[in-house]
Structures are given as structure tokens and as C-alpha cells.
Amino acid sequence: NSLRDDVPDLINFADIDCLVQEDDDPAAAEAPSVVRTSPDAEIVAARSYDLSITYDKYFQTPRIWLFGYSENGVPLLPEEIFEDILTDYAAKTVTVDPHPCTGIPTASIHPCRHASVMKKVVDSWVESGVRPRHDLALLILLKFVSSVIPTIEYDFTMDVDMLIHRSTKNEK
């Protein structure tokens, strides 16, 4: 088996929480960083990203676009953006295409499996007796993005229970 085969494919998606690598996991990807020399030796360089979401008419689902900047605000080249994406996902899921609004080559998480992932989550809720909530759709999609790009951090102010493959039903 190649390393590429070891990466979970969206078609086999079961639980989004199992895709997210925790900070204390020794196998977790580390955020790329550059440490400056004195007098700012304690400051770690950080990249930032503009994340935009468009609607993909062909796949009839949201499409997530990532445009990155260096610590100095200089736009990143596509190769530099791929440094922040898990290598195996970069080969399977992330492509560089012209952004539909700007025309600028931008990295995007390909939407071919987004709808099936979202359907699995909703089906799990229904099977567990939980009424699906449309207001959580964006949070679920962003949680998936954080599994592909572990260096991106979100402030999740609420816990979203995915309820996938539970053996018992919750009473709510």
C-alpha cells in the first residue's frame, strides 16, 4: 500500500472527529514556522488565510477556497499553500483553480464529496433520533476543513456532536 492509500478518502468518511489530529498527538502535523533571530527570537512567524466559500453549481454544494499570506502579508504561491495542507490530502482533495470571483489561482478543497459527507452526518443524526439542524451545516463543513489543513484553527464556541456510528441512541 502506498501512503496515499492510507489517507481516509471522503467516500469512506465515517466520523469527522477521527480525522482531526490533536496537538498532543505525536503524528499531528506541525504548523510551519520560522523563528527570527534576536531581538525577536521568541516570535514565531505565522501565515494567515482568507477563506471564502462559493457555491459549486456542478456538484451543488459549497466549495471552500484558501488564499494564503506570509507573515509579511505577501500572497503565498500555490506550492507554499500546499506546505500547510496534509501531504496526502494535497494529492487527493486540494486543487489550485481560478477563483470564480477573482480569477486568481487559489487553492480549493474539491467539492466532489462534500454533499455525501454532509448527508452521512444528517443520516446519523436522524438514526440517533436527533432532528437535523441546518444552522450547523457550516460548522460541520469547517470542521472537515480543519482535518485537511491542521494548521488552521477555528474558535468553535460550541461542541457539535456528529453522532456517527454510535451504538446507543441519545435521549434529547
Catalytic status, residue 112:
yes
The Cα–Cα gap between 36 and 102 comes to: 34
Q: Is 141 helix (H, G, I), strand (E, B) or coil?
A: helix
Which of these is catalytic: 7, 20, 112, 140? 112
| Concatenated DSSP letters of 82-132 | HTTS-HHHHHHTEEEEE-TTT--EEEEE-GGGHHHHHHHHHHHHHHTTPPP
CA 7/CA 89 separation, integer angstroms? 7
Which active-site residues does the annotation give?
Answer: 112
